[in-house]
Structure 1
Amino acid sequence: MTTPMLETLRRHLRDLVKLIEKHHRKPLYTDFEDEIGSETGVELPGFAEAGDFEKFRAKTRAFLLEHQDNTVIHKLRMNIPLTATDLDELERILSESGLGGPEEIARAKEVSHGLGLFVRSLIGLDREAAKQSLATFLKGKTLTANQIEFINLIIDHLTEHGAMDAALLYESPFTDLTPQGPDGLFTSTQIDELIDTLEQITATALVPPCSQQITA
């Protein structure tokens, strides 16, 4: 039993909770008088900027889709590994585009765990590239109809979002096909291969530590 499997079970049970017989309790009454003090403004770091960051995401996505012929953006779309120079170039492009300042770019890196993954999440993977990324996993396997549909759902997600966390395999729409997620269709060895494949796809938008320059 895994945490994602328990989450799937919880989702299936939540619609049945309303059928549990309710125990009647005597109402409790209070006689307190509310007192409202003077109004004080409170700033919550990170919350006030949410709208601005979403605007930055939207503008950046439109910009990237118009510049898919750029070498670095093309690499991200086609699942070609990036270099440290590519990431520097990507940051330069976004900085000079005027879409956002250093704060927005820094936040983009933080929320997506890297600028490459941030851009990939906006433009997705080319569908043929997404299919090709799973070619090694599929090689030599004879799949059932449900297994093929499961793989197609993964390709759909990669095409739209550019990368995929393995935990999502245990959520809808995958659990709509099989409540146990991949555990209901594949062997444990095959699941490990599938997870490794998803991690490799994510890794192409990152730069391995050994390839990053270290300065004194």
Structure 2
Amino acid sequence: MITHLEDPVTKIVYGVGADIGEDYEDYKLKVERYLKDYSETVIIHKLRTNKPMTEDEFAQLEYIFTHELGNAEDYARAYGDTPFGLLVRKLVPLDRDAAMEAFAGFLNDQSLNEQQISFVKRVVNYVVDNGYMEPQALTQPPFDRPKSFVRMFSTQQQMDLLTAIRNIRENATRPAA
């Protein structure tokens, strides 16, 4: 079988750059590479270890994503309205010791039974894997089995657990007071 292809070239101009019209550098790939290469910078380290950040550090994080790695449109196209700190938490695992420390006050409560401790450890694993947790996730699978969060813990215990979960999220979204 013989195939005949024609490639009509109407004009050849040398020394002129091609205008592709689109940057083929993948913004998400740039972000992931940056977070891998600079995981020990102060800002990324604080997010990995659940330490509070200053307003300047949040501004610097925003600058990195919207000026150094691309622009605000690139960020919005790739990640929507995800806060910068939560994006880092999604892509760079939260340190397990930091997560355990965030729940230490709750876990050290001598009144917790084995089922409650197991539940909290599942929450810790979720936070380590995902970087943070939305409070409403406590009422959804896998946290609604074998017993619901509301039935497993007293009102005060529920409030304490929710406070720990909110604090982890807030350390990635709000400057320290």
- Under a length normalisation based on structure 1, what TM-score does the superposition of the two structures give? 0.62
| Unaligned stretches of 5+ residues in structure 2 | 1-25
Aligned to 2:156: 189
Tell me which of 143, 163, 169 is aligned to 2:132.
Answer: 163
Would you say 1:116 and 2:108 are equivalent positions?
A: no
Unaligned runs of 5+ in 1: 1-54, 212-216
Q: Match of 1:93?
A: 64
Structure-2 change in CA distance of 1:153 and 1:162 (3 Å) = same
Aligned residues: 152
Offset from partner CA, 1:155-181 (integer Å, 9 cap, x none): 111111111111001111112332x2x
Tell me which amino acid in the other structure corresponds to 1:186.
Answer: F
- How far residue 97 of structure 1 moved from its aligned partner, in angstroms, is 4.6
The one-letter code sitting in structure 1 at the alignment partner of 2:169 is T
What residue is the counterpart of 1:10 in the other structure?
none
Partner of 2:15: none
Give a deviation string over 1:129-173, Cα, whole Å, max 9, x none. Answer: 000000122233332222121111111111111111110011111
- Partner SS state of residue 175, structure 1: coil
TM-score normalised over the length of structure 2: 0.74
Identical counterparts, % of pairs: 30
Q: CA RMSD in A?
A: 2.4
- Structure 1 contact 108–118 (Cα < 8 Å) conserved: no
Mapped pair 1:76 → 2:43: no
Q: Which runs of 4+ in 1 moved over 4 A?
A: 106-110
Q: Which protein is richer in helix relative to its size?
A: 1
Correspondence 1:1-216 to 2 at 5 A: 56-57=27-28, 59-95=30-66, 97-98=68-69, 100-106=70-76, 111-112=81-82, 114-178=83-147, 180=148, 182-208=149-175
Q: For 2:123 and 2:114, how far apart are their aligned partners in 1?
A: 15
